Amino acid sequence: MQILTHSPPCQSLTPDRVAPNHAQKGATLIVVLLFLILVMIAGAMSVKRSTTDLKLATSDQINTMLLQSADNANQKLETVITDYPKSVENRLGMFGYFMQRPETVGDEFIYCFHPDNAKVNTVTGGFIRLKNGGIRGKEQICKPDKADSFVNDRKISMVQVSVTRADVAADPNAEDFGSLTEGRDTNGYQGAVEKTKFDIRPTSLMPSYSDPDTCLKKSVVGSDNIVSCLTGKSVPHKTLYQQAVVEENTCTDLYRRYGGAGASKLC
């Protein structure tokens, strides 16, 4: 007996292959990258804008502080004139040196301003720079390494003040006989006494930002002056300009009119 068996033919079962989705993955990656780039650009613009705003705010604060420091020197000067009249009037004082001496046009009385010190003559801390380059008194300019050169204990700003006699003869707008005191005879009572006009220029600066070096040794007038020097050295600074008129009244004491802000008699 023969047993016949029937076996079906062997078949290999292979699952259907799925095509890879590389194109979709690549597109998604590009979108993500573009989004990240946009975020980075937006962040960079925000940082740049914040930095610019900070610089503007800092610059505005610096200008305000410099302006206040220079203006304080002007205001203090009026008080000094009233409190120390004899020191101001003497031959080496900030005003007395120039009065009735037209030849002093071009000379400068210079001092480093401090609210607690009255440097109104060459004895108390001021000095005179002559137009020929000489010095009368001891040259005592503001110095960044000296605490008393700063206007306060924070040591942020300092102010150097220049007082010069205005050159009335070179002023096309000057009044005829405007330098003579009203009520005086040119050859009469106690002689002719002139009114003297002064140019006052306080220069405030912040030496912590950049070293002023020798700039403070320069004059405030002329082409090669303290302002151009500080600008060249990138030192934050500000210079104010004001005029004062000093005259003598009929009671022989000085009658002062400072910056058009009023007058005070010392007699």
Question: Tens digit of pLDDT per residue, the chain (267 long)?
Answer: 444 445 555 454 445 554 555 556 666 777 777 878 888 887 777 666 655 444 545 778 888 889 999 999 988 888 877 777 777 778 888 888 888 788 999 999 999 998 887 777 777 888 999 988 889 888 889 999 999 899 988 888 999 999 999 987 666 565 554 555 555 555 544 544 567 889 999 999 999 888 898 899 999 888 889 999 999 999 999 999 999 888 755 444 444 444 444 444 444
Give the start-end residues of each E strand in the chain.
Answer: 108-113, 127-129, 135-136, 158-165, 196-205, 237-239, 242-248, 254-258, 263-265
CA 82 to chain centre: 27
Q: How many CB atoms lie within 10 A of CB 50?
A: 10
Question: How long is the chain?
Answer: 267
Q: Which residue type is seen at 196?
A: T
Beta-bridge partner residues of 105: 107
